[in-house]
Structure 1
Amino acid sequence: MFSFSQKKKGATESRFIRRMKGEDYINSTRKYLDYLEEHLANVSKAFSELSEACDGKEHWVGDDCAWHTLHHEVVHHDLSKFSKEEFVQYRDHFFSVSDADKENSAFDLAWENHKLENHHHHETAKNYTDLVHMVIDWVSMSYKFKDNPRDFYNKTKPKMNLNPEFHAFIERQFDHLESYRGKR
């Protein structure tokens, strides 16, 4: 005769089993989903902030087609992280239940897929829309880590295979952002 009592929602304890292994995966999945939810909220906030900072200064804000194209890209930001090619791999790499899960996560393949599906990374950026989206992503991460997105850019810049015009464009976006933040 087995007797189960509720400890809390989703967690059961019996005389014979203290914790189900699956609960560890549920918890790591929740942590990963919480991270994704926070990141998407930060991307939305960064899009608004950079749009306001660049309003009247950059073509992508004043041009309806460019702004709506970027808006569409941002609304679909990192959607591939919910795909079968990335979800479990990212979860197991960043929120692993065990060292073995992390080692066997196939994260490298998921990362390559992510860059192919999302051009807001310097390895796959092809145009100015991709560059603005990349800056938005960096700004969003700076909210989480409470640091300066330009510092991240400057640290990563030597590894970037972007043409000088693209670098100048990125730096101009940071100039606008810093000027905007200084006026608030």
Structure 2
Amino acid sequence: MSDNQPQGNYYNKYESKNIIEKRLMQGFFNSIDRCLDQIKFQRVLEAGCGEGHVTDYIKRRYKCTIEGFDIGEEAINKAKRYFVDIPFYIHSIYELPYEEEFDLVVCCEVIEHLEQYEKALEELFRISKKYVLVSVPREPLWRFLNLCRLKYVKDLGNTPGHINHWGHKEFKRLLSKYGNIIDTQSPLPWQVILLEKR
């Protein structure tokens, strides 16, 4: 496993008490809602679920059957403690033990960490029956905002572990190779794209 492979959240933005971060996270979840409100789904998988916050949000908001996985044992153990009614597993995103069995596959804040992000995307689309939702930081805005708050200055605002950086057009171009784009959202400072499998 690469040192850059994410294992949970580098910084737990989901539980932040900071009012600005809470508003940013609300914008992120609102964007997920705007995408998912357009489609019908029942069985969902979250890939790279970390401590399970997005998994739990989707379960509560959409009353669906959902499970999550991450490569990090510590993150999965936390997810199991936090959200006891959701099944969580340890898997590599590159070799998933599923067939084409999920109506929706969700992958938030993961592929910016992956050396083999195209292999990961192939797996996500392989196991989806119809839809895939992916989010990543919006660059270069992400790094600029980190610099504004004097974070990761020696790395020019790059969050530790982020090895891939996409602007909006580049990210859409990448994902278009795998599916048809249904919707794009740009909650500050992310980009969220919903696709339908071809």
TM-score past 0.5 threshold: no
Q: Please identify which structure carries the higher helix content.
A: 1
Give the TM-score taking structure 1 as reference length: 0.29
- TM-score w.r.t. structure 2 length? 0.28
- Structure index of larger Rg: 1
